[in-house]
Amino acid sequence: MIKNDLFLRALKGETVERPPVWMMRQAGRYLPEFIAIREKYDFFTRCRTPELASEITVQPIRRFGMDAAILFSDILVIPQAMNIEVEMKPNFGPYLPNPVRSQKGVDEVIVPDVNVELDYVMQAIKATKELLSNEVPLIGFAGSPWTILCYVVQGQGSKNFDKAKEFCFTQPQAAHQLLQKITDTTIAYLKAKVKAGVDVVQIFDSWGGMLSPTDYQEFSWRYINQIVEALKDEAPVIAFGKGCWFALEEMAKSNVSAIGVDWTITPKNARYLSGGNITLQGNFDPSRLLSPPVTIKKMVHQMINEFGKDKYIVNLGHGILPNIPLDNVKAFIDAVKEYK
């Protein structure tokens, strides 16, 4: 039994004494203990070495005592397993030297055996579960098929993912084949993660907000929903689409256990658009963690009051930034724990 099951209870919509709290990207770059590991090992070595990945995962729990841990990994391990080369360049980010931009390119993409190609992730989960020793639940995650396609076609990060959109709109058949291959791989991957021991899964649609509401349905949500349907009986599923407030109503009709929201929507509107019955997660602006601790605490309490303490998980509206002072992170977590 997990000792602190507050997060799991909130996902079920149960009445809680206070909402649970964790932070997207909590395992990582703002922590001095993470930076010490980063100086010794490159990015994908950290992802692929179970001892390192598990240690990085539990670092923020040791320091701040969040109500859930999220496995240290990356959404781009999926394309790597699918026979697509992915590099992580320092001070640049992801770089894919051979982007997929044709039917021929799509044909060369494989749907791998995730238990072979991504076994290191499963080993990291097992190692992490040992380190956590049932203190808090563990979250496993994947990128949405659309978000993965964005990198696979664009070849790197982008402000507008114009090449990815061009590919979808000029070669829709090839694009849908690629999206389906990513979806099939992701379903197998998340199922394997649950089997290995994660308690909850989250789907990150980081670039969903790049699409119009109509295109979102066609190129993103229909594939996310396939994943939700495949996983709903295995573990609670959280769907998070950055900039996707327009899809909240649709998301709420699905079998997700919770929906993540970013800071561009008010709690009131998020509740309204999602129908008021589903657990919501978010939506503190990560940059607001640069405010003084006293301001952070006040804003967090106000945020909880506006969302309501039940059917709510306190989180950021996107990943924590690397330059956030530790005292400010502590103020954010403590504000939730002190909530009355």
**Residue 44 annotated as lining a ligand binding site:** yes
**Residue 5 annotated as lining a ligand binding site:** no
Question: What's the rounded Cα separation, in Å, for the pair 213 and 262?
Answer: 17
18 given a catalytic annotation: no
The torsion angle over the Cα atoms of residues 306, 311, 313 and 314, rounded to 10 degrees, is 10
**Residue 27 annotated as lining a ligand binding site:** yes
**Residue 46 annotated as lining a ligand binding site:** no
**Residue 25 annotated as lining a ligand binding site:** yes
| Cα-based distances in Å from 57 to 53, 134, 193, 259, 337 | 6, 14, 15, 23, 21
3-class DSSP assignment, residue 93: strand
62 given a catalytic annotation: no
Residue of 9, 25, 63, 222 marked catalytic: 25
272 given a catalytic annotation: no
**Residue 173 annotated as lining a ligand binding site:** no
Residue of 5, 30, 101, 151 marked catalytic: 151
| All residues at 6 or more sequence positions from 184 whose CB lies less than 8 Å from its CB, including other chains | 111
**Residue 310 annotated as lining a ligand binding site:** no
**Residue 80 annotated as lining a ligand binding site:** no
- Sheet hosting strand 237-241, strand order edge to edge: 69-70, 138-143, 200-205, 237-241, 258-261, 279-284, 312-316
Residue of 9, 30, 42, 74 marked catalytic: 74
**Residue 36 annotated as lining a ligand binding site:** no
Residue of 5, 9, 18, 29 marked catalytic: 29
Q: How much is the CA Rg of the chain, to the nearest whole Å?
A: 19
Residue of 38, 222, 285, 339 marked catalytic: 38
**Residue 29 annotated as lining a ligand binding site:** yes
Task: Give backbone dihedrals phi and psi of 206, rounded to 5 degrees, phi first.
Answer: -60, -30
Question: What's the rounded Cα separation, in Å, for the pair 324 and 335?
Answer: 16
CA-nearest of 122, 38, 39 to 77 is: 122
38 given a catalytic annotation: yes
Positions marked catalytic:
25, 29, 38, 74, 151
Residue positions in the annotated binding site for substrate? Answer: 25-29, 44, 74, 151, 206, 318
